[in-house]
A and B are shown apart, each in its own frame.
Chain A
Amino acid sequence: AQTVTQSQPEMSVQEAETVTLSCTYDTSESDYYLFWYKQPPSRQMILVIRQEAYKQQNATENRFSVNFQKAAKSFSLKISDSQLGDAAMYFCAYRSLASGTYKYIFGTGTRLKVLA
């Protein structure tokens, strides 16, 4: 069974600085997707960024980028030029591409605080 681990319950970053959130996962599969979701106090889960396992190039979305290390099963999220609106819970998620498997597996989350 696949597992997703986020070892940082809470992180803080100064506004305009850069922060990296860690995520490791365990799987025996070779094809899968990885995601970072943001959950602000409003509770709505918002997709931040996605990474296809077969792609070697790290995904980037504006100020958000990932460091995907497939062999190490590591998938960290880097937030550059942090803004107050980035404060939220961040969840790492895994989704298998195996036929008949449709569930997303989430980590326990990292609470990000942005200090003004």
Chain B
Amino acid sequence: DAGVTQSPTHLIKTRGQHVTLRCSPISGHKSVSWYQQVLGQGPQFIFQYYEKEERGRGNFPDRFSARQFPNYSSELNVNALLLGDSALYLCASSSELAVLPGNEQFFGPGTRLTVL
């Protein structure tokens, strides 16, 4: 079975532009979470979606938004890009919301966003 996939792998944008990052969860997984990982830091939680509804939001400005589609794939949108948005954006999926044995969160390889 395929794992969590993300596209694109790398992306270069300039300040003020908009970006859309995409994530496909593991087949059968209904929950998708997004994390931002700045170089040298641990991942920071941005959003979690479950069954197409937002279930959690981290401390990020309104320039960040996301949505989940009926097939459970997800998009992360960032408007008015700033230099500080340069980071690795990780997507993670799990089958349910609860943390149960066998229901761990699986991460994708990430999208490296560089803002110039």
Contacts and interface: CB of A to CB of B under 8 A. Distances in A.
B6 to A, nearest CB: 10
Contact of B48 (A4, A102, A108, A109): A102
A50 interface: yes
Nearest to A47: B104
Interface in A60-116: 91, 93, 95, 97, 100-109
Contacts of B92: 45
Interface string A23-51: 00000000001010100001111110010
Nearest to A32: B99
Contacts of B97: 102
Interface stretch (B19-27, B72-80, B106-114): B106-114
- The B contact surface, by secondary structure, is strand
Contact of B43 (A6, A33, A50, A106): A106
Contacts of B105: 47, 104
Contacts of B33: 102-104
A50 B107 contact: no
Interface residues of B, number: 27
Contacts of B110: 43-44
B28 interface: no
Given A103-B33, A103-B56, A45 B107 contact: yes
16 contacts: A4-B42, A6-B42, A42-B109, A43-B109, A44-B108, A44-B110, A100-B56, A102-B31, A102-B50, A102-B56, A103-B48, A104-B33, A106-B42, A106-B44, A108-B41, A109-B40
Interface of A: 4, 6, 33, 35, 37, 42-47, 50, 91, 93, 95, 97, 100-109
